[in-house]
Amino acid sequence: MTTTVNKISTDNSFNLMILVIGLIFCCVLNTFASFSYKLLQPLGKSTAFIFAIEMAFAILQYCFKIPLYYYFAQQNVVVTIIIYISIYSIVVISFAKYILKETVSTHSIIILFMIVGLTILNQYLDTID
């Protein structure tokens, strides 16, 4: 097992790809952990049931997120968190717009694109050094 982890950790593009895919999965779980009450309350589910479902999503999310950070996160912790926040913002906006059918303001989407663009620029500038 150690050989595989050492081999994986030498390839930064593979690490970044696994990290992003894993973070997308974690962000989806986090979104359901945070906002599943908006789907379950109108169905008449009890508060205890909603709380149990949200806790299950949150625990499952952390079961994936912590190993992702440990094995695949880049050297720069700030960049990893910025990637997570960018992905989480995309997932929450998509959840609000397509599942909850809420109106998402244009300036929210513009700000999100600016954050994603700055994250990509930061990654590019880190490779120049």
What is the rounded distance in angstroms from the CA atom of residue 25 to the CA atom of residue 9?
21
Which residue is listed with tokens 């998509």? Answer: 94
**Alpha carbon 79 to chain centroid, angstroms:** 13
- pTM: predicted TM-score of the whole model, two decimal places: 0.79
Tell me the domain boundaries of the chain. Answer: 2-128
Per-residue pLDDT of the chain (129 residues; tens, 9 = 90+): 444 444 444 567 887 888 889 999 999 999 999 999 999 999 999 999 999 999 999 999 999 999 888 887 766 777 788 889 889 999 999 999 999 999 999 998 898 889 888 878 877 887 786
Rg of the chain over CA atoms, in angstroms?
17
